[in-house]
Structure 1
Amino acid sequence: MVALERKRKSSSSTTSNGTKKLKSHVSSSFILHSYSKLPDVNAFPKGRSEPLDIFVWGTGSMCELGLGPSAKNKEVKRPRLNPFLTEEKLDGTKIVDFSVGGMHTLALDGKNRIWSWGGNDSGVLGRDTSKVKEVLKDVDSNESEDDEDGDLNEAESTPGLVEGLPQIKSSKIVQLVATDNLSAALYDNGDVYAWGCFRCNEGLLGFLREEIKVQKSPLEIKELKNIVQLARGKDHILALDVKGIVYAWGNGQQYQLGRRIIERHRYRSLEPQQFGLYNIKYIASGDFHCFAIDHDDKVYTWGLNQFGQCALTNSDGELEDGSLITKPTLVPSLSGKGIVEISAGEHHTLALTREGDVLSWGRYDMKEVGISKDRLPKSTFKDAHGNARSVPTPTKLHFGKVEDNGVKIKEIGTGSHNSFAVTDDGFVYSWGFADTYAPGLGPLDEDVEIPTRIFNTATKFTDIKLIGAGGQFVVSGGVKIEDEDEREDRIEKYEEIDG
């Protein structure tokens, strides 16, 4: 998440001279014709700068973990330090930020360089990985039994530098975003560069209009200027500018672009376009659904909603299969709640408040919402057999077995069917789908119903600062706690909290 600073206060409902303030959702034509007169309401972000140790876990059969080509690194059941991203390996610097896509990761180091690893079928790594020599297995070797599929592509499974990034004078990269098939970087001057492609239900959609199908090196998105934040979906991206206007491009088949995409004009969806959202200070996106928060703390949503992941139901209070929110719609249950961060997966959503509380809603059957059965709200939807299917109402989560234990959350993250919350002193709680080891809790026989603390040798003395997840793997970054007393006090505190 990029922390945005408010640059200029927006007007109240009625200004001093009696004129009405602009609404956050207006017509696209209004914004188009009034753009030059609109005030700047957002400031450019400074980006992250704290050096981080990088830990990974989950399933990496498509090189997602970045631990090198050895077949034994395809499954990592608990957090493991990535040895290729240490200060020694990165020429005296460390990773300061990262973004996790469906099957790849982008990481920014302290020298303003981007490292990438993971599957590169769509050119998302921003570098050539096709010339690696194939490593044949020795059938007589003892290691041949580790994995019948053999080793991974060395270039894809080992972090490498993105090639062709522009050297913009006095400008730094302040945010990265990784979708399933595309990568992008935001500079502190508001410029955006991207590479890869977008895909849709029918297969390859393209990169930019009809002329570029797959872009294998960073290219400036010239339609975007003065951008302060990006948000990624499965195959779409949102962008927010200094004037509080939101743009979207990519696949819009579930209305995740905030507008209707006509089939005969489908390639126009590959051009960033605004769709009537104004006075916005923050944007977020799941795979197919999106959110925006305006400067009056009102929350808007749009996109796929069949599990109530948008925190809305129909006029009868019901959910429908394939339900769509076709345009930005106010979410009363989230507005005015002091939401500072939203993270969403395929069918579920988390929200973090400024007080450090976490709200959760959406799909339930893989336990991605983290709500125990005895705490499910009355609004929970159940199937014909009485099994909970989804929770459309934002519901406060509980961490630890001791009630009112004072645990506050500073960071949240979601994978497709997993969720994570980082406490203010750097421990990670996880829950959700367990088959791919994404919870980071070791081998499990069933999905993790409620937030459960990750505790292992690699991270027990680390203050985790940042976390992100893809389809079946997770990346976190943290800082080692040097003070021994602080280490022990921290562990004792959570042993008591967790019972």
Structure 2
Amino acid sequence: MVALDRKRKAATANGLAKRQKSTSSRVLHSKNKLPDVVEIVAGKTEPLDIFVWGTGSMCELGLGPSAKTKEVKRPRLNPFLTEEKLGKGIKIVDFAAGGMHSLALDSANRLWSWGGNDSGVLGRDTSKAKEVLKSMDAGDEDSDDEDGDLNEAESTPGLVENLPNTEDGGAKIVQVVATDNLSAVLYDNGEVYAWGCFRCNEGLLGFLRQEISLQKTPYKVKELSNIAQLAGGKDHLLALDKKGILYAWGNGQQFQLGRRVLERHRYRTLEPQQFGLYNIKYIASGDFHCFAIDVEGKVFAWGLNQFGQCALTDINGELEDGSLITKPTEIPALSELSITEISAGEHHTLALTSEGDVYSWGRYDMKEIGIPKENLPPSTFKDAHGVARSVPTPTKLQFGAKADNGVKIKTIAAGSHHSFAVTDDGFVYAWGFADTYAPGLGPLDEDVEKPTRIVNTATKNHTIQLIGAGGQFSISGGIKIEDEDVAEDRIDKYDDIDGQ
């Protein structure tokens, strides 16, 4: 367990603050002379079949307006994102899942969007879509929902408007990001475009200072240049530039911007600002908590921590309700793990190591951390009734019926309260809150306590390459295995691993 030494912290706080301020001024003043420490994230190019599942009452699944698409219990191929619909030789290569919307990048470098558009996150006009209500004469078999069909424009993938022309040697999109109320893209020339808005506890916060409250089409973020990576939370964004300097903007009420926000200066949070983190090579964010890894492999965390989602406790190993980490703080327990990827939800976090292992920590209530009750570590925090509430200690997850069975993970994803891990040969394990069908394991009577392999007809012969998790839905991308013998051998292998 990680504990803070309060005396040491208090004794060094003033000196550290002065050094950071001095370092900040010196670094920014000589920024152009600094060497690059991180390269712009490489754009994905592998053509994928796209599968979606979960609850889509806000058009999250992109399966069209039929009311029957509001609940999809297991992964289903999205017919609007196939080569037949996108164009010959064109397929989706990357995507991002937000709270209630998604973005998908195709191999022609065009960006598609779908989902709820109340905050302008789709980057296109959906106001003229026809509204189809349920017919009074229709029987129950004709519709799965009393409210009728979905908004046609929001529930069907459409092209984002007014992005820079990528043809004739123009810059290409290399990363897409979706938060609850905002969308953003990073280009290979280091430029960032964003649209939508940021919200806070009181409601709408805005998009850019007091000048723009809601941005409905892509807008170039002029304060940023040479950006190498983006990371999005619930209502904030992080941007890492090639020099290893980190910027943050959006809502900072839980200190997810890494700095104190004064009410009289609240609109200044709507423009990117650095906050004293340098030599950073990787960034990640949950809804209200953030992570950064520096060039030496040290892991820093900040933001909301009441469930130990930052892997930090007080000197007594305790957690406090509403606990906040007000500035980036090194987490020694994470720095020792050789982490290559972090994905975080509302109150939990996953980390993938270079060895292909997954560690999990944070809230336990909805089983989002994937640790069976009998395997909970001694550090597990319990309430007054002895009920397990959270695990603040990074704990290695087990995939399959037996430990050390050779299963290695290549990528991870965390939704608000559900999680995924994809094996190196393309099977998906899921766990967490199950009422919305977001784990993709079909109708269940209770939440999924431990990593459970998704087995369904649509994806069983696909090697899943990418996966994303939103608020109550999920999305994956895979490549079909054409050799039936190879596909069957893979299924047999995992049936044995899972003890089936």
| Fold similarity call, TM over 0.5 | yes
Match of 1:122 in 2: 119
Contact 2:198 2:251 in 1 (8 A): yes
Aligned length: 477
Distance in 1 of aligned mates of 2:135 and 2:311: 54
* Offset, 1:45: 2.5
| Change in CA separation of 1:311 and 1:469 when aligned onto 2, cut-off 3 Å | same
Contact 1:350 1:361 in 2 (8 A): yes
Distance in 2 of aligned mates of 1:141 and 1:153: 19
Match of 2:161 in 1: 163
1:112 aligns with 2:109: yes
1:269 aligns to what SS in structure 2? helix
Of 41, 66, 74, the residue aligned with 2:70 is 74
The answer to which structure has the higher helix fraction is 2
1:103 aligns with 2:100: yes
Distance in 1 of aligned mates of 2:296 and 2:370: 29
1:89 aligns with 2:88: no
Higher mean Cα deviation, 41-50 or 458-467? 41-50
The residue identity in structure 2 corresponding to 1:119 is G
1:139 aligns with 2:149: no
* Offset, 1:439: 1.0
What is the identity percentage for the equivalent residue pairs of Structure 1 and Structure 2? 78
The residue identity in structure 1 corresponding to 2:157 is P
The residue identity in structure 2 corresponding to 1:130 is S
Distance in 2 of aligned mates of 1:72 and 1:371: 34
Distance in 2 of aligned mates of 1:336 and 1:329: 15
Contact 1:24 1:278 in 2 (8 A): no
RMSD of the alignment, in Å? 1.3
Could you list the per-position Cα deviations for residues 160-197 of structure 1 after superposition, in whole angstroms to 9, with x for gaps in the alignment?
00000011543100000000000000000000000000
Distance in 1 of aligned mates of 2:319 and 2:359: 20
Match of 1:381 in 2: 381
1:61 aligns with 2:62: no
Match of 1:426 in 2: 426
Contact 1:164 1:217 in 2 (8 A): yes
Distance in 1 of aligned mates of 2:66 and 2:236: 33
The residue identity in structure 2 corresponding to 1:38 is L
Distance in 2 of aligned mates of 1:129 and 1:81: 24
Match of 1:20 in 2: none
Match of 1:7 in 2: none
Superposed, which structure 2 residues align to 1:19-418 within 5 Å? 27-92=23-88, 93-142=90-139, 143-167=141-165, 169-418=169-418
Contact 2:134 2:146 in 1 (8 A): no
* Offset, 1:206: 0.3
Contact 1:144 1:150 in 2 (8 A): no
Contact 2:343 2:351 in 1 (8 A): yes
2:86 aligns to what SS in structure 1? coil
* Offset, 1:27: 4.2
* Offset, 1:26: 7.6
Distance in 2 of aligned mates of 1:244 and 1:54: 33
Higher mean Cα deviation, 110-119 or 130-139? 130-139
Distance in 2 of aligned mates of 1:420 and 1:164: 34
Contact 2:134 2:143 in 1 (8 A): no
Distance in 2 of aligned mates of 1:365 and 1:137: 37
* Offset, 1:403: 2.6
Contact 2:131 2:150 in 1 (8 A): no
2:436 aligns to what SS in structure 1? coil
1:89 aligns to what SS in structure 2? helix
Could you list the per-position Cα deviations for residues 216-246 of structure 1 after superposition, in whole angstroms to 9, with x for gaps in the alignment?
1101000000001000000000000000000
Distance in 2 of aligned mates of 1:126 and 1:458: 30
Could you list the per-position Cα deviations for residues 53-89 of structure 1 after superposition, in whole angstroms to 9, with x for gaps in the alignment?
0000000000000000000110000000000000010
Match of 1:14 in 2: none
* Offset, 1:338: 1.1
Contact 1:26 1:277 in 2 (8 A): no
Distance in 2 of aligned mates of 1:291 and 1:151: 40
Contact 1:25 1:328 in 2 (8 A): no
Distance in 2 of aligned mates of 1:470 and 1:147: 22
* Offset, 1:385: 1.1
The residue identity in structure 1 corresponding to 2:155 is S
Higher mean Cα deviation, 32-41 or 76-85? 32-41
1:334 aligns to what SS in structure 2? helix
1:238 aligns to what SS in structure 2? strand
| Change in CA separation of 1:463 and 1:290 when aligned onto 2, cut-off 3 Å | same
Contact 1:55 1:475 in 2 (8 A): yes
Q: What TM-score does the superposition give when structure 2 sets the normalisation length?
A: 0.94
Distance in 2 of aligned mates of 1:339 and 1:26: 30
1:195 aligns to what SS in structure 2? strand
Distance in 2 of aligned mates of 1:151 and 1:339: 44
2:239 aligns to what SS in structure 1? strand
The residue identity in structure 2 corresponding to 1:162 is V
Q: What TM-score does the superposition give when structure 1 sets the normalisation length?
A: 0.94
